[in-house]
Structure 1
């Protein structure tokens, strides 16, 4: 998809804004940046500036986003503005692993604090949660004892937010029986994987991960890893897969792809692992450090783009073949917990 500045300017104001919002929603940040900077920042309305800043954030250019958000007149600085602006600073803090006392961290916390207050007044619970997610993104660098003194209301809201997240994770029990007959009758591997998806813990240590998978066959564990791999790479590429908690399943995904005879995908993932030295830490913080070191190499993203395309082009069938050939390995009869 492409759009010229001339095409954009031929639209009405309402059409311009909706078009840019739609492009942001489908991840076309480069088009947005090219068009809106072509129009000129001084010629953009406050809503369009907000969408441009959002595009810069989503395109991993928080410094550019900050410049845009600063250009928005104070009377338009609502809860959404505070969230997006805070996200810019949060991205910088998280990428650089900056200390609590850093200027960027303090800017982020102040913006989140104000954003939560405004979102509460505006009745925007979704924006309120987004603001708190920015704080959560920088959790490893935050001195919570100091933060409670500096931002007491914010920390109280954050504690409630964490408690609610924990409650949602605890969820509600679901009884399920998956038979050989059901497995043979479906091509929906996500349905077959559902008990493992909700049960296997990818958010703690690797020991936690293995312990939570004990109630499943190793083949079910591999299927779950492959499902996570597809979901993350198709959403944000291999970089997102390793950056997020899902990176903990990389080895099971690789072994599973090989076992399921998905050799092209297995070779593709193996080449990514080899690029990072032949192994990737299961610990998320250690993966962040590696990714940050490699992100300074311009060729990294060119390399990953090629590897991402291999997954994007996969039309899905080999995992179905293996599961249908060995249905007895994927049966389930028990209870698992589904988040609310």
Structure 2
């Protein structure tokens, strides 16, 4: 399958397109959750999975979590499971878990966690504590490269999986 050609007009976009402006990722967790809950389940899965893969492809998980899009991380994990990409969903789950027991929906709260992580790593580098830095690295969740590979390969790749899910779950596409 030629993923570059499919990217121009993915079929799944017909499912999420009508909802694109009806679900805000820019105005905080409470509004997002309320609007997201109003969407059909298949739309929600595709909407969240689309946003996450788009952001991570563009700038990695760091960009995803530091931007407003990070509000939908738990929904994106469920979306990837729904479209048949459980290994990608596991990477997302590991990333979410690194924020602690309660995932921060608000962008400022996620930024605080990310900044604290950066300070710890920078302190370890400055002090030359390479052993602690290596241990810290082993404690970090799988990163961008692992996820990018899964986006290309798992279940035929993201575009194929998302299109297949849309065809199977959107009666307007049948």
1:290 and 2:113 are equivalent in the alignment: yes
Partner of 1:238: 61
1:312 and 2:155 are equivalent in the alignment: no
| Larger radius of gyration between Structure 1 and Structure 2 | 1
Q: Secondary structure at the match of 1:276?
A: coil
**Which structure has greater strand proportion?**
1
Matches within 5 A, 1:1-340: 187-213=10-36, 215-298=38-121, 303=140, 306-313=142-149, 314-315=151-152, 316=158, 317-328=160-171, 331=172
Kept after mapping to 2: 8 A contact 1:273/1:279 = no
Tell me which of the two structures has the higher relative contact order, counting C-alpha pairs closer than 8 angstroms and 6 or more residues apart.
Answer: 2
Structure 1 residues 321 and 278: CA distance shift in structure 2, 3 A: farther
Coordinate RMSD, CA, aligned: 2.5
Deviations 1:255-298 (A, max 9, x none): 11122221010111111122222442001111111111111233
| C-alpha separation in 1, matches of 2:102 and 2:164 | 29
Q: Secondary structure at the match of 1:285?
A: helix
**TM-score with structure 2 length normalisation?**
0.72
Kept after mapping to 2: 8 A contact 1:193/1:220 = yes
| C-alpha separation in 2, matches of 1:231 and 1:194 | 15
| C-alpha separation in 2, matches of 1:210 and 1:276 | 19
Partner of 1:113: none
Deviations 1:151-185 (A, max 9, x none): xxxxxxxxxxxxxxxxxxxxxxxxxxxxxxxxxxx
Kept after mapping to 1: 8 A contact 2:42/2:169 = no
Unaligned segments of structure 2, at least 5 residues:
1-8, 122-132, 153-157
Q: CA deviation at 1:221?
A: 1.5
Kept after mapping to 2: 8 A contact 1:196/1:221 = no
Deviations 1:93-118 (A, max 9, x none): xxxxxxxxxxxxxxxxxxxxxxxxxx
Divergent runs of 4+, >6 A: none
Q: CA deviation at 1:215?
A: 4.5
**TM-score with structure 1 length normalisation?**
0.39
